[in-house]
């Protein structure tokens, strides 16, 4: 299985701090995606990074991908209370079907 | 533009019954996928439909089935419900086939409780 595994499982920070979440996987991928989920609702797509890309930015989000280490990281800068959510990485291999990890639960305290 | 619409939002069924969930993708999106989310197993892929054809299927029993209509709307059906089928069922649409490497847009889900 190429299910990604997020680390840490839970993260608690203060507003204004940066939050970093990591995702490791086991087999080669075509792309890796990050999603956010608020309290049991639908997931929101944040960023897709392809296997030949190393870094992507979107607003306060920065995603890196290291295919040699089979790992990715999601950095949220200057966190806000509204960033409180669960964050999932999803790896897509030969079938291109995103396979989700268990997620990182982020709490940002005002 | 309208997002992915799933109906109903909540559903309570009795063991042994069957249920049909509906998903309307974003206008123009042709790929619809379904996921089951539970606290124990996380997000598990059920199936993907593209142009009315099932393109991929996850590791679920035959009680789980789906279809896609010519307008890209999709339904999934679960027959002979079991307590373990209680979950949040998420529908996700994508502009083109997943192989094009685009991300999903998810609906808010249908919360199914089997009693």
Q: Is the pLDDT of residue B34 over 80?
A: yes
Distance CA A103, CA A6 (A): 6
Judged by CB atoms closer than 8 Å, whether chains meet at A41 and B108 is answered as yes
Kindly indicate the confidence band of residue B98, based on its pLDDT and cuts at 50, 70 and 90.
Answer: low
Measured between its terminal Cα atoms, the distance across chain B in Å is 37
Minimal C-alpha gap between B62 and chain A (Å): 20
pLDDT single digits (tens) B45-96 = 999 999 999 999 999 999 999 999 999 999 999 999 999 999 999 999 998 7
- Number of helices (H), then strands (E), belonging to chain B: the values are 0, 11
- Please spell the DSSP secondary structure of B30-64, one letter per residue: -EEEEEEEETTTEEEEEEEEETTEEEEE-S--TTE
CA nearest to B57 within chain A:
A97
Q: What are phi and psi of A82, to 5 degrees?
A: -70, -15
pLDDT single digits (tens) B7-16 = 999 999 999 9
Beta bridge partners of A52: none
How many Cα atoms within 13 Å fall on the side-chain side of residue A65? 24
Kindly indicate the confidence band of residue B103, based on its pLDDT and cuts at 50, 70 and 90.
Answer: confident
Q: Which tokens sit at A65?
A: 């991908």
Judged by CB atoms closer than 8 Å, whether chains meet at A41 and B56 is answered as no
Q: Tell which residue, A88, A59, A64, A84, has the closest CA to residue A74.
A: A64
A44 touches chain B (CB under 8 A): yes
pLDDT single digits (tens) A23-80 = 999 999 999 999 999 987 889 999 999 999 999 999 999 999 999 999 999 999 999 9
Kindly indicate the confidence band of residue A1, based on its pLDDT and cuts at 50, 70 and 90.
Answer: very low
| A chain contacts of residue B48, beta-carbon cutoff 8 Å | 97
Q: Is the pLDDT of residue B114 over 60?
A: yes
A68 touches chain B (CB under 8 A): no
List, in order, residues 6 or more apart from A56 with CB less than 8 Å away.
Answer: A47, A49, A62, A63
Q: Tell which residue, B83, B47, B82, B86, has the closest CA to residue B67.
A: B47
A61 touches chain B (CB under 8 A): no
Minimal C-alpha gap between B86 and chain A (Å): 14
């Amino acid at each position: 299985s190429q299910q990604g595994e997020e680390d840490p499982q839970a993260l608690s920070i203060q507003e204004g701090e940066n939050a970093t979440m990591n995702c490791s996987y086991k087999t080669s991928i075509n792309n890796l995606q990050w999603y956010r989920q608020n309290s049991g609702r639908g997931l929101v797509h944040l960023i897709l990074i392809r296997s030949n890309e190393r870094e992507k930015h979107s607003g306060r989000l920065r995603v890196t991908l290291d295919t040699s280490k089979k790992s990715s990281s999601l950095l949220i800068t200057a966190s806000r209370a509204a960033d409180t959510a669960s964050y999932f990485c999803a790896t897509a291999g030969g079938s291109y079907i995103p396979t989700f990890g268990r997620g990182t639960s982020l709490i940002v305290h005002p | 533009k309208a997002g992915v619409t799933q109906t109903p939002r909540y559903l309570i069924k009795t063991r042994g019954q069957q249920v049909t969930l509906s998903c309307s993708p974003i206008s123009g999106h042709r790929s619809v996928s379904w996921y089951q989310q539970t606290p124990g197993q996380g997000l598990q892929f059920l199936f993907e439909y593209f142009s009315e054809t099932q393109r991929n299927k996850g590791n679920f029993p035959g009680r789980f089935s789906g279809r896609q209509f010519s307008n890209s709307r999709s339904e999934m059906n679960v027959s002979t419900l079991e307590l373990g089928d209680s979950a949040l069922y998420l529908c996700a649409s994508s502009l083109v086939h997943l192989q094009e490497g685009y991300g999903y847009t998810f609906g808010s889900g249908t919360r199914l409780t089997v009693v």
